[in-house]
Amino acid sequence: MFIVSDFVRVLRAADINVSTAETIEAGRMLDMMGFADRDLVKTGLSQILAKSESDKEAFDECFEDYFTALSFAEEQDDKADGPEASEPVPTEGEAPSTASQSPANGGLSDLLLQGDNAALAAAMARAASQVGLAEAKLFTQSGLFTRRIMEAMGLEALEQDLSARRGEGDADGVQAIEGARRKLFEMVRDYVDTQIKLRTANAGRRVREDALSRVKLSNLDRSDMRIMRGLVEKLAKRLATAHSRRRTKAQRGIVDIRKTLRRNQSHDGLLIDLVWKTKKIDRPRLITMCDVSGSVAAYAKFLLMFLYNLDEVIPKTRSFVFSNQCGEVTDLFQEQDLEQAMARAITHYGGGSTDYGQSLSDLAHYIIDDIDHRTTLMILGDGRSNFGHPGHDILRDLAARARRVIWLNPEPQALWNTGDSEMHRLGAYCHLVQTCNTIRHLERVLDNLLRAH
């Protein structure tokens, strides 16, 4: 069942998590139903191996690519031939000599001359597994593997045959074989390219995502935005699943008398079934205020993007944006899709130069009745108030009422308190002040925030 394990490897490269148990199950299914009906195989495998809607989409793509590359029709012929031929590609454990024997014995030139494409494809697949094409990591290796596969298929014998014919003066034969060799080269090259693409298409993306999550948000290209958006969505989803699970925590050892009495009423008041007290884990109520003036708009955009996606775990979030005054964008965010909402928030509030005093007093006006011991206030800004009043007294009042105040500053710590930065005065009233300028930082902050509650 080399086919199954190899296909599973391709699926894993496409970010579908397939377990060993599922691989075995897939093998059982193919044993049971055979390869003959393509649709049946596809449906069956997809039900066994792909376990979510997005996985199924990725699965369909992989299936089409993989089984075109392997030429499905030829496989069923092999299957029909009998048990010996049922594995078109030998497993890696088998002695390679048996695999390479048939084409190496001068068979390659015969195959080429006869134009037996099916047999050629089979020989090619066999040679590919022999040279370990499945291990290829980079597209730059394609030349190397093309050469190796051709050698494994018996290129040497072919060359000898060619020079022998040249010696005999068989011009027609020489021409025919040379033509066929070029064709073979094209074929192998194509095959290798498809295979490598199948296995490494996602590796590149993964490296890129990894790098992007560490790069400073202000240094992002416009072209990276699309990948970034996907990345943010993925991280938000990860946080959401990690924190949506347990909302109560049992406190072992303390009996909840009221609940116990009620539960045991049917036992005539005998306390048989004890109920332990549980502690409810509150989901945080979050109020965010983002600076959207030119200098930090890029960061605000990502924070808001994150919050937009975190909606499931933190349902009661109120969002505000400010530059020289502060305005609420909660409704805007709920009603419109992200791009539009962002653009409107920035054009509407992002014009002026930052005025922390005015903005904080605006914010206090909006939220003072809504802020209580469960509320976390999160402020994203560089703390640069253009030498105006920083509004730290207002922040002090807000902090006294809130559970926590978190300040995320996109500038590195070394730049705080230089020039017009008021971090020392504003930061004094915050429970946490942190540099936050990459997606990694953002994820860590939000993870802590969710865990602390």
Residues of this chain that interact with another protein (CB under 8 A) are 17, 19, 21-22, 25, 28-29, 31-37, 39-40, 43-44, 47-48, 50-53, 56, 76, 79-80, 241, 244-246, 266-268, 270, 272
Backbone angles phi, psi at 372, to 5 degrees: -145, -165
Q: How many helices (H) and strands (E) does the chain have?
A: 20, 8
The order of strands in the sheet holding 285-291 is 326-328, 317-322, 285-291, 375-380, 404-409, 432-435
Nearer to another protein, 41 or 367 (CB): 41
Task: Establish how many alpha carbons lie within 13 A of residue 115's alpha carbon, considering only the half-sphere containing its beta carbon.
Answer: 2
* Least distance from another protein to the Cβ atom of residue 84, Å: 15
| Min CB(303)–another protein separation in Å | 24
Of 37 and 186, the one with the shorter C-beta distance to another protein is 37
User: In angstroms, what CA-CA distances link 327 with 347, 363, 382?
Assistant: 12, 8, 18
| CB of 111 or CB of 341, closer to another protein | 341
Q: Which residue has the tokens 């590359």?
A: 69
Q: Which long-range contacts (CB under 8 A, 24 or more apart) does 35-38 make?
A: 35/72, 35/75, 35/76, 35/79, 36/76, 36/79, 36/80, 38/67, 38/72
Query: Shortest gap between Cβ of 31 and another protein (angstroms)?
Result: 8
Q: For residue 87, what are the contacts with CB-CB under 8 A and spacing of at least 6?
A: 1, 2, 3, 78
Indicate the residue among 151 and 447 with the shorter CB distance to another protein: 447
CA angle 250, 252, 257 (to 5 degrees): 85
Task: Please identify, using beta-carbon distances, which residue of 62 and 131 lies nearer to another protein.
Answer: 62
- Which of 74/420 has CB closer to another protein? 74
- Angle (CA) 223 209 339, round 5°: 45
Least distance CB 307 / another protein (angstroms): 20
Q: How far is the CB of 261 from another protein (least distance, A)?
A: 15
Contact 316, 286 (CB under 8 A): yes
Q: How far is the CB of 52 from another protein (least distance, A)?
A: 8
Q: Closest Cα to residue 306, out of 411, 453, 441?
A: 441
Minimum Å distance from CB 444 to another protein? 22
Nearer to another protein, 237 or 396 (CB): 237
Q: Considering the complex, what minimum distance in angstroms separates the CB of residue 287 from another protein? A: 26
For the bound state, the minimum distance from the C-beta of residue 124 to another protein, rounded and expressed in Å, comes to 24
Query: Given the complex with another protein, which of 222 and 246 has the nearer CB atom?
Result: 246
Sign for the CA dihedral angle at 135, 140, 146, 147 comes to: negative
Helix (H, G, I), strand (E, B) or coil at 127: helix
> Kind of pairing, strands 404-409 and 432-435?
parallel
Least separation in angstroms between CB 276 and another protein: 13
Q: Which is nearer to another protein, 37 or 168 (CB)?
A: 37
Nearest to 115 by CA among 171, 172, 181, 175: 181
Question: Is the Cβ of residue 193 or residue 311 nearer to another protein in the bound state?
Answer: 311
The least distance separating another protein from the CB of residue 59, rounded to whole angstroms, comes to: 10
Q: How far is CA 445 from CA 117, 262, 282, 380, 409, in A?
A: 59, 42, 18, 12, 12
Contact 230, 303 (CB under 8 A): no
In sequence order, the 6+-apart residues with CB closer than 8 A to the CB of 122 are 74, 78, 88
Angle at 174 between CA 168 and CA 176, to 5 degrees: 145
Nearer to another protein, 27 or 96 (CB): 27
